[in-house]
Structure 1
C-alpha cells in the first residue's frame, strides 16, 4: 500500500519543484543553444511563462496548465518556429498534473485548452512570412501536440484513480477492523448471557431445590434432634449459595460498559491511558491543539498505533515513566510516545528487524501517506513518533 500511494506533502511540492526545474533547464537551454539576439527575448518569455504556470498550478492546477500552454503561441508570436525544449516538457507535464489533482469532470478543460493553444501556435508559426510546407506541417504538428496533451491527461487520470483506490482500501481495512472488534464484543456479551442462563437455570435452580428439600427433612425431626442442627446449617449454607449465584448471574448479565477494550478512536485516548495506568505504567497524556473531526479510517489507525506503542513499553521496558503527546494542527496529527527506561535491544529502529508491532505501525501510517520513526533516544529510553497528514493534501 505504501508503494502505490503518493505522499501528499510531496504532491503539494511537485509544481514548485517543477517551476525550479523549468527555470534551470530554460537557462541551460539558452546557454548551450544560443538563439541569437533577435530570438533571445522569445526564449526567455517562453521559459518565464512555463515557470509562472507551474507556480500557479500549486493552487489552481487547471489554470496553471492553461498558462503553461499559452507559452506556445507566445513564443511563436515572438519569432520562434515552435516551443522551446523546456516548453515541450512543461506542455506535456501540466495536463497530467491537472488530471491528478482535479476530477475528470473538470480537468478535461486543461487538455482541450492546451490543444487549442497548440493549434494557435502552429498556425502562427506556419502562416508567418517565409514558412514552407504549410499543409503537411500544420496537420502533423497538431497531431503531435494533441497526442502529448491527451496522453499526459490519461496518465494523470490513472494516477488519480490509483491513489483513490489505495485510500478506499485503507478505509475498507479500517471498517473491517472496527466491524471485527464489534463482532468480538457482541460475542463476549452473548457468551456472558449464555453462561448466566446456564447458572440460573441449572445450578441456582438445583441448589434452591436441594435447600428446600433439606428444610423439609429438618421439619420432620424433633427440635432437639442432633441431626436438626446439622440440617439447619446445610439449609442456611444453601440459601447463602443461592444468593451468591444470583449475584453472579446479575454481574454476567450486565453489559460491560466502559470495557477494557474502548472504541478505537483518539476520542477515547483518556480511557486507553487509564487502562494502561491500571496495568502499572505511569503514563502522562498531553494534547496540543484542538482535535479535529478525523476520518474514521485514520482515527482507528492512529488509536491502534498509540495502543501498540504503550503495549510495547509495558512489554519491553516495564513500569517506567512514559510521556504521550498528541499534537493536532491544520496540516496533520502527530503521536509521540517516549518512555524513560534504559532501552533494550529487543526493540530495533523502525527500518531494522524489529518486532511485528513496529512493522504493523509502519504499515498503518503508510496507508495514509504518513511517517513513522522509532528508536532508542540519546538520553535513554525509547521513542515512537507517528505523523498523519491531514487537510486538502490528503
Structure 2
C-alpha cells in the first residue's frame, strides 16, 4: 500500500509523495526485512522498486520525455532501487542480530540450568555420603558399644547401682541408634525424591534437540556402544560436545553442523564439524578471541585421560573439533 502511493500521487498531478510518504516508502522494506521471513519479505523491496519505476514512468510521460529525460528516469529508478534494497538489507541485518541475541540468551539459560543441576548433584552426593558414614560407622560403633555394655552389666549383681547405671546407658545407646537410623532414612529419602540426571553422552540426543530448538541445524550420528563409559570420562566428553556446539552458535550462527560420536574398542571419538558462516574467510579461527577459555578447557579435559584434541578451521572455511579419549586410561 505504501509503495502503491508513489505512482498514484504522480498520476494525480503532484510532483511526488510528501516527505512522510517518502520516509514510509523506504521504511516499509526495512520493516519487512526485520519482521518477515527472508524467503517472502524480498517481495517488499521488489514491489517498492516496481512502484517507484511506475511512478517515474508516469511522470516522464506527463512531461514528454526526451533522451535526457529518459536518462534522468533511469537514474531515478537506480536510486530508488538501491534505497529500497538497502533498507531491506538493513532490516535483515537487524533481524539476524535479534535472532542471535535470542539464541545466546537461550544458551545462557541452558548453561545456568546445567550449573544448577551440577550443584544439586553435588549436594545429593554429599547427603548420601553422610548417610553412608552415619550408617556404616557411627550406628555400627554405637551398636557394638551397647552390646558390650550389656555383656558387662550381666556380670554385675542385678540390684546394684552400677547395674542400674549400665542399664540406663544401654537404653540411651539403643535410642541413639534408632534416631541415627531415622536420620539416615530422612537423608536418603531427600536424595531419592530429587533425582538429578547427570551429564552423559547417552543424553547427546537431548543436547542436540536443545540446540536444534535454538535454531542450529545439527545432524547427530552415534556409532558403537556408549552406554557403559566410565562416569568421569562420560561427563568430560559430554561437556566437550556442549562447549563445541555453544561455540558454533556463538561464532558461526545457525549453520549446518554435524556431530559424530564413535566408539571402537578402548577408544571414544567425538567430531563436531560445522559449515562456514556466510562471508567467512578460510583462514579465520572462529574460536580465536579474548581468553579462549572454551578451547583451553576442552584440551584440559582430554589431557586428563591421555587423549588428544584437534581443533581448527577446515579448508572450506568451516570449523571442526576432533577429540579422542582412550577408555580406561587416566593420568
TM-score by length of 2: 0.52
| 1:199 equivalent in alignment to 2:129 | no
Deviation string, structure 1 residues 75-117 (Cα, Å, up to 9, x no partner): 2323345444443222111111222222222211111111111
Q: Match for residue 124 of structure 1? A: 58
Q: Secondary structure at the match of 2:171?
A: helix
| 1:91 equivalent in alignment to 2:25 | yes
Q: Match for residue 270 of structure 1? A: none
1:121 is displaced (CA, Å) by 1.7
1:236 counterpart (158, 171, 188) = 171
Q: Match for residue 8 of structure 2? A: 74
Q: Match for residue 111 of structure 1? A: 45
1:249 counterpart (184, 187, 192) = 184
Q: Match for residue 137 of structure 1? A: 72
Q: Secondary structure at the match of 2:2?
A: helix
| 1:210 equivalent in alignment to 2:145 | yes
Mapped contact 1:80–1:125 kept (Cα < 8 A): no
Which structure is higher in RCO with an 8 Å CA cutoff and minimum separation 6?
A: 1
Deviation string, structure 1 residues 311-368 (Cα, Å, up to 9, x no partner): xxxxxxxxxxxxxxxxxxxxxxxxxxxxxxxxxxxxxxxxxxxxxxxxxxxxxxxxxx
1:157 is displaced (CA, Å) by 1.7
Unaligned runs of at least 5 residues, structure 1: 1-66, 260-394
The equivalences for 1:1-394 within 5 A come to 67-80=1-14, 82-132=16-66, 133-223=68-158, 227-255=162-190
Whole-Å Cα distance in 2 between the matches of residues 143 and 130 of structure 1? 20
Unaligned runs of at least 5 residues, structure 2: 195-331
From the superposition, tell whether residues 232 and 84 of structure 1 become closer, same or farther in structure 2 (CA, over 3 Å).
closer
The aligned length equals 193
Whole-Å Cα distance in 1 between the matches of residues 100 and 63 of structure 2? 52
CA RMSD of aligned residues (A): 2.7
